[in-house]
Structure 1
Amino acid sequence: MEVIAIQKSALDGMKNELKELLEITKSATEKYASIFNKEKWLDNQEVCLMMKITKRTLQTYKDKGILSNSRLNRKNYYKLSDVKTLLEAGQPYNTDTDGFNN
């Protein structure tokens, strides 16, 4: 076991810096915590599996405004409630290339 001796004032300074860093981290994450705690978010793969659609169909849903998404660190996320709403509607959207809903 190695023992390192430092002055009490240096130790107190490090403690204070750590406390400040913890406070900064808490304040930075507090404003986003309510967003993620209230709603479950899904990524592309989870949405495709849940809806039984391809990634291309999911992209079409996004392009046509059928399913909204949010981006975080270049990754798309979807609200579970939005996906459930679309599923309950029976996916009435035909995404054929002609652009018309059938």
Structure 2
Amino acid sequence: MNVIMMESAAFQELVGHIEKIAEHIRRYEDRLTVQPQERWLNSKEVTALLGISLRTLQRYRDEGRIPFSLMGRTCRYRLTDVERIMKECSMSGNAERIGELHRQYMVRTGKKT
């Protein structure tokens, strides 16, 4: 067996480096276990979920309302981003709100209530 002798300061520095490496490994492992695989959708699936046309989806991309990634020549969207858009575009359905929307529609179209 070989015995290696070193100064205490050098040994402490070596231990510090090993602890930093161990911390990086722990953080990397946490990222792997915490983040599940993200589901990606194509444009056709997104338009069906949102009930919009391809042109409207393109406008959302142009305006930065929905993030996307280009994979080859195909746009892909994260399901979480599509769900966020769905929440942003939804409104409450209480009777007062629906009545007010109906009244405004009748005024704009010139129809009698």
Evaluate the alpha carbon distance shift between residue 71 and residue 91 of structure 1 in structure 2; reply closer, same or farther with a 3 A threshold.
farther
- Structure 2 partner of 1:42: 41
Counterpart CA distance in 1 for 2:65 and 2:86 is: 12
Rg larger in structure: 2
Residues 32-71 of structure 1 deviation map (CA, whole Å, 9 limit, x = unaligned): xx7xx62000000000000000000000000000001001
Q: Which runs of 4+ in 1 moved over 3 A?
A: none
Q: Relative to total residues, which structure has the larger helix share, 1 or 2?
A: 2
> Structure 1 regions of 5+ residues with no counterpart?
1-33, 93-102
How far apart are the structure 1 equivalents of 2:87 and 2:54?
20
CA RMSD of aligned residues (A): 1.8
Aligned pairs, number = 57
d(CA) in 1 for partners of 2:79, 2:60: 15
Partner of 1:49, secondary structure, is helix
CA distance in 2, matches of 1:73, 1:56: 20
1:54 is matched by which residue type in structure 2? S
Aligned to 2:111: none
Q: CA deviation at 1:91?
A: 6.0
Instruction: Provide the residue aligned with 1:81 in structure 2.
Output: 80
SS for the counterpart of 1:77 is: strand
Secondary structure of the residue that 2:64 maps to in structure 1? coil
Q: What residue ranges of structure 2 are gaps of 5+ in the alignment?
A: 1-31, 92-113
Q: Which residue in 2 is equivalent to 1:6?
A: none
The sequence identity of aligned pairs, in percent, is: 33
Distance 1:65 1:91, change over 3 A: farther
TM-score (norm 2): 0.47
What SS does the corresponding residue of 2:55 show, helix, strand or coil? helix
> Which secondary structure does the structure 1 equivalent of 2:89 belong to?
coil
Q: Tell me by how many angstroms 1:90 deviates.
A: 1.5
Q: 2 CA distance for matches of 1:89 and 1:64?
A: 15
